Amino acid sequence: MRNGVFAKLCCLVFAAFMLAPIVVVVGVSFTPTGFLEFPPSGISLRWFRAILDAPEFIEGGWISLKLGVISATLAAVIAVPAALAIGRGRFRGREALLALFMSPLMVPTVVLGIAFLRFLTVVGLSGTFTGLALCHAVIILPFVLRLVLASISGLDRATERAAESLGAGGWTVFRRVTLPAIVPGILGGWVLAFITSFDELTVSVFIVNPSTTTLPVRLYSHIAQTTDPLVASVSTVTILFTVVLMIVVDRFYGLDRLLIGEGKK
Amino acid sequence: MSETRRNWLLSAPGLVLFGVLLFVPLVMTFILSLNSFDFYGGIKPDIGPGNYFAVLGDGYYYTIFGRTFAIALVTTVICVLIGVPVAWFMLKMTPFWRSIMVLVVIGPLLISVVVRTLGWAIILGNKGIVNDALIHLGLIERPIKMMFTSGGIVVALVHVMVPFMVLAVWAALQRADPAAERAAESLGAGTVTIFRRVVVPQALPGILSGSLIVFSMSASAFATPAIIGGRRAKVIATTVYDEFMGTLNWPLGAAIAMLLLVSVVVVMLAWNRLVERRVEKVIG
């Protein structure tokens, strides 16, 4: 059954709605004037050059980049063994373990934010990059875990048994057979975790200090005071960065699989 | 090494991280919510339900809780109304157009909420695109106020949340048997009847799980209400933020946050009960 004209129209309106804020931000960032106007009265890179004179955004960008890489890697290193246990094992407490590792998605982010703030203040890590990275690792771990679990559940165990019967030890089987098979899941999870960390605001806004302020927090505090074309041009740069990442992920993993867990096979 | 021991050992790093950085902080926050506070001495280590009484006895907070849950509810309903048809249309598209639509749904999800909300602030502002266009067309004389209102928050929140609904419904419809639709069609059912009597029941598991995600995320959203709502349309999350970063009354902020956590958990459990009963009804 095909879609009728009405359905196509609905999809068009929906697509316009979904893309509207993104198109507007990108459009506004090219304005030659000093205020927000859409559509822009001309095309100018003035506000992109202005980024170069705004060290706080450049520094925020580096911090977010570093934070995303470190916390996503930490989350992956912790999530992969846990996923092997949960995905393979039949043991008591397995369900509880899975629920625990997925729980950061259930707790309201603002609650996590103040809980981290309270904890880090008490242990003396408040505002530090270490504290920030550890907290980000906790909130992005569910994303890695879910994708690694999905790739483990689709795994054929026969190859592993064959390797074992040929005399390979546990570590060799993991390194030579299991790991290569779940690498797409790990990479997909890593990228999703990285993006989540890179974009994270609600937790970070509580636990950064002026020297560890991430890009989303910088953008937020700037927007909360004033909206000038500078925030639009900085946003456009991050949109471009995300689009490039999305294209890479789509080539190697499939975007639909990244968020639905199935799809392209 | 026994199988079970190996499994626990593999999970050990995660357990340690979550024990120290999730369980302990949440318990500390609960204790913090029982402490008292004064503006000269700061946080005092005594234990008592004073903050909860302060919140529950003040109409100001009822307004904020009421506004937050009203926004979450309206957002959820709109997401269902948009998400179900869109997911159904997507299922019937050619692979090419479907992959375009997947990009349209998922793409924004990967772009920072701050950036997307900035876009809505530009669109909805008093000198924003919508108001400009309406004034140019002569439909209105004075700009309609959309920034700093609950309505504005809903529009931007729907944009943030609707992908989750589309994905949930889409996953449910993919598991459904397409033969049912064809059977209904061959028996003479029109599109509207097919949608109402075949598609919606098949999509129901997705609608229910999607609604739960959308509702709980909307109720605890921070970035969107903070930028669109500002100080004038405060929700629970922005109130907690103001208590922590503005007035520095951490115990009171912690109590408000705990009440948010409890209400979200209660809604989730009640919703799950409802879903289970519904499934039982269908199966039994």
Using the predicted structure, report yes or no on whether residue A158 has a pLDDT greater than 90: no
In a domain, B36, yes or no: no
Using the predicted structure, report yes or no on whether residue B280 has a pLDDT greater than 80: no
- Domains held by chain B: number: 1
| Residue ranges with strand state E in A17-137 | none
Mean pLDDT across A97-109: 93
Share of chain A above pLDDT 70, in %: 96
In a domain, B3, yes or no: no
pLDDT tens profile B218-264 = 999 999 999 999 888 999 999 999 999 998 999 999 999 999 999 99
Q: Give me the pLDDT at residue B279, please.
A: 66
Mean pLDDT across A81-92: 89
B106 shares contact with chain A (CB less than 8 Å): yes
Mean pLDDT across A192-201: 94
Using the predicted structure, report yes or no on whether residue A263 has a pLDDT greater than 60: no
Closest CA to B90 of B169, B205, B180, B175: B169
Q: Give me the pLDDT at residue B89, please.
A: 93
Q: Does an H or E element contain A47, and which?
A: helix A46-52
Per the prediction, chain A carries an average pLDDT of 89
Mean pLDDT across A113-141: 96
In a domain, B244, yes or no: yes
B43 shares contact with chain A (CB less than 8 Å): no
CB contact under 8 A, B18 and A100: yes
Tokens of A79: 């999530």
Beta carbons of A120 and A207 less than 8 angstroms apart: yes
- In terms of CA atoms, which chain B residue is nearest residue A26? B119
In a domain, B35, yes or no: no
Question: Cα(A110)–Cα(A125) distance, rounded to whole angstroms?
Answer: 19
Tokens of A124: 């003396």
Model pTM score: 0.91
B43: burial class by Cβ within 10 Å (0-12, 13-18, 19+)? middle
Q: Give me the pLDDT at residue B210, please.
A: 93
A61-225 has CATH 3.40.1830.10 classification: no
CB contact under 8 A, A94 and B7: yes
Beta carbons of B151 and B139 less than 8 angstroms apart: no
Chain A, window 78-137: residues with a beta carbon less than 8 angstroms from a chain B beta carbon: 78-79, 81-82, 84-86, 88-89, 91-94, 97, 100-101, 103-104, 106-119, 122, 134-135, 137
In a domain, B198, yes or no: yes
What b/e readout covers A67-76, taking b as 16+ CB neighbours within 10 angstroms?
Answer: bbebbbbbbb
Question: Cα(A94)–Cα(B11) distance, rounded to whole angstroms?
Answer: 10
Share of chain B above pLDDT 90, in %: 60
CATH number for B224 = 1.10.3720.10
CA distances from A170 to A85, A86, A179, B47 (A): 14, 17, 12, 52
pLDDT tens profile A4-24 = 888 999 999 999 999 999 999
Using the predicted structure, report yes or no on whether residue B81 has a pLDDT greater than 80: yes
Question: Cα(B170)–Cα(B205) distance, rounded to whole angstroms?
Answer: 10
A182 shares contact with chain B (CB less than 8 Å): no
Q: Does an H or E element contain B272, and which?
A: helix B250-283
- In terms of CA atoms, which chain A residue is nearest residue B219? A108
- In terms of CA atoms, which chain A residue is nearest residue B246? A206
| Domain span including residue B223 | 60-283
In a domain, B205, yes or no: yes
ipTM of the complex: 0.90
Q: Give me the pLDDT at residue B281, please.
A: 66
SS3 for B97-142 is: HHHHHHHHHHHHHCCCHHHHHHHHHHHHCCCCHHHHHHHHCCCCCC
